[in-house]
Structure 1
């Protein structure tokens, strides 16, 4: 499974790019707005950090297909290759996805909260479909099963779309998503860091350190 970072915070992206095996960054209008900075300036800073080999996903704000298409054109012009325009899985969004794919845009269908929405988006040509795992759970559904069902139906019907699962609130959801066969997931930095944390790892390292110092003092391996 591929991991992306779900943020527009430049500091967090620099941290993640240096320490974690991320394959790109995803944003949305809410995430961007928290940075209180110019929209394109923020996205260009993100691009400069992750480079052109990694994916950058950014979302339209228009509600009508024509507006979505115009916004997508502007973003693609500004952000270059490996840019994925996020289009909501609505009636107008599906219309926009079909037109954008005819123009060879890379598209992520977002705000997907049912497998039926995701299937239509994939049939319209979306490269990625983003089920909102925790949001589905919060409203009485099963986010992991939705992602798994979409993975299965894409495979059975030979659709090229891939899952980019989103909206995670804990590490179990992320791991269960990986077990479900999802192609990728986008997570906040805190959840990415929490995936590495465990008190038994900390106590093991403390024991190793104590035993080493008892035998060798402050020497390091390079001192031998």
Structure 2
């Protein structure tokens, strides 16, 4: 199981990355914009994420044509060997993905909405695809069914499914039970994944029991001079 964080907010990411439970961070231009990070500030964010121990840092290209996407992808990969280049599943994007993959650059094909795009991404040599689960549902597509079909189609290949656009943690549990093993979550959902009220109640009971003397125990009696102890 691999869990990733879908955010560029350092304040929100820091405590979650400290847990060591998340393999890295996924970003895109919209996520960077929401975090107030301009395009030229991206390299500094990558450096920070690498310093935080991220195994993978997914950074998306913005060029519209294949040649420009290839050039941008090479520049992004030059920032760190932990960078995975994200490319949208357009014709130009898939063309660029194939060229970058041939050059040994790890690529994630993103904005996947149909299982046929998983086949195209695999043909392009992508190491990852990112289906948008929530948006498929909003478009009246059965996102769960599509993701499971993608997982079946790609089983035994070098391309992995990294589910994005998750709206609630139960979706993670349900898909994980069906052998989908990689998810990227917003920091709010990641925090929900870590919380369980019954566990917190049990820990509170443990702490309370630790603070109380055991039944039948005899309180310690001081034998120090001046505290009522016998003297010779």
TM-score range, shorter chain: 0.7 to 0.9
Aligned to 1:160: 158
Separation in 2, partners of 1:63, 1:136:
23
Contact 2:151 2:180 in 1 (8 A): yes
Q: Which stretches of structure 1, 4 residues or longer, exceed 6 Å deviation after superposition?
A: none
The normalised TM-score by structure 1 is 0.87
Q: Which runs of 5+ in 2 are unaligned?
A: 215-232
Aligned to 1:26: 26
Partner of 1:186: helix, strand, or coil?
Answer: strand
State the 1:18 CA deviation.
0.8
Partner of 1:181: helix, strand, or coil?
Answer: coil
State the 1:41 CA deviation.
3.0
State the 1:214 CA deviation.
2.8
Aligned to 1:193: 191
Q: Is 1:172 aligned to 2:174, yes or no? A: no
Separation in 2, partners of 1:49, 1:83:
10
The normalised TM-score by structure 2 is 0.84
Aligned residues: CA RMSD: 1.9
State the 1:12 CA deviation.
2.0
Which structure shows the bigger proportion of residues in helix conformation? 1
State the 1:142 CA deviation.
2.4
- Deviation string 1:114-142 (CA, Å, 9 cap, x unpaired) is 11111111111111011111111222222
1:40/1:176 CA distance change after superposition, 3 Å: farther
Aligned to 1:63: 64
Aligned residues, how many? 213
Q: Which runs of 5+ in 1 are unaligned?
A: 217-224
Aligned to 1:101: 101
Aligned to 2:47: 47
1:74/1:21 CA distance change after superposition, 3 Å: same
State the 1:53 CA deviation.
6.2
Bigger Rg, structure 1 or 2: 2
Contact 1:8 1:32 in 2 (8 A): yes
State the 1:180 CA deviation.
2.5
Partner of 1:204: helix, strand, or coil?
Answer: helix
State the 1:40 CA deviation.
4.4
Contact 2:32 2:38 in 1 (8 A): no
Aligned to 1:204: 202
Contact 1:47 1:56 in 2 (8 A): no
Q: Which segment drifts farther, 17-26 or 200-209? A: 200-209
